[in-house]
Amino acid sequence: MSRHRLAGRLASALVAAGCAGPLVLGAGGDDAAKARAIVERARGAEVVYLGEQHDNPHHHVHQRRILEAMLAIGARPALAFEMLDAGQQAAVDGALADGLAQESFSERLGWTARGWPDFAMYWPLFDVAAGHGLAVVAVDLDPAVARRIAREGLAAAAAGDAGLGSRLPPDTEREAGITRTIKEGHCGLLPASRLPFLVEAWHARNVAMARRIAQALERQRQVVVIVGSGHQEAGGLTAQLEALRPGTRQFVVEMVEDPPAMASETADLIWLTPAVARPDPCAPLRRPAQPLR
């Protein structure tokens, strides 16, 4: 979706239900009421995605509001995090059982060492989960496996883990779009030979997360997923879950900074938020001594 088209769609604070495209909530106003409205629209969903830009604190505040609104109507969803890989599940369960405070919880999970933004933004979600006895599910692929695939391709993954391949039928246009997004996300500085491996790594992560969400749905009626908005793009996590578990009722919320540059066409609802200032993301990649990741 082009910036011009999306800007036109977001001109009004709320797009009436029934119009083409996602429902759009403007920035400002009664955020608690908006969270309640989102919960009503997502009431029948088995999986509710709360797509974020990881470093935007407004997105995390809205995620907490939505989760609390769900709890207020009696929902008791599991809370799944992209930021935690499946191998950390025991550590997550232990941290919750031990009633750890914010700093200790972060240390137990190795949050900062793993490169995620300030844990203080995410802590309220863990705190709400702990206070209401919600299951917390670590869903991401082991970062070492993801890095190896990104460097050497899916064939380099551990033997017997062919299940990491995309479950989607071939679609040249879709795969070209994913490749283009990854190329742009790396500022156009990656050699073309690396792009197919990065696409495979992206698919592998989405397949791994979809698998964990499907497993969680065997025990829970509903799962709320905290995930970067990029994984909600066409061919991403929602598509992989549908392929693994056909008919799963999914509802996609995407937090989008205002003014918007791009938003997922797969979103059911877009919530505009204030933007945050960031340094040039391409600067580290332009340094000759900095390895491309």
pLDDT at residue 12, as a whole number: 38
pLDDT tens digits along 53-112: 999 999 999 999 999 999 999 999 999 999 999 999 999 999 999 999 999 999 999 999
Which of 104, 112, 105 lies closest to 126 in space, CA to CA?
105
Partnered with residue 270 across adjacent β-strands are 24, 254
pLDDT at residue 263, as a whole number: 55
At residue 8 the predicted structure's pLDDT band, cuts being 50, 70 and 90, is: very low
Tokens of 229: 């908005």
Quote the pTM value. 0.90
User: What is the rounded distance in angstroms from the CA atom of residue 156 to the CA atom of residue 223?
Assistant: 31
Partnered with residue 52 across adjacent β-strands are 228
Sketch out the chain's domains with CATH numbers.
Answer: 3-10+26-275 (3.40.50.11550)
Which of 112, 134, 117 lies closest to 125 in space, CA to CA?
134
Q: Which helix (H) or strand (E) holds 214?
A: helix 195-217
Q: Which helix (H) or strand (E) holds 223?
A: strand 223-228
Which of 272, 278, 239 lies closest to 254 in space, CA to CA?
272
pLDDT tens digits along 27-48: 999 999 999 999 999 999 999 9
User: What is the rounded distance in angstroms from the CA atom of residue 137 to the CA atom of residue 208?
Assistant: 13
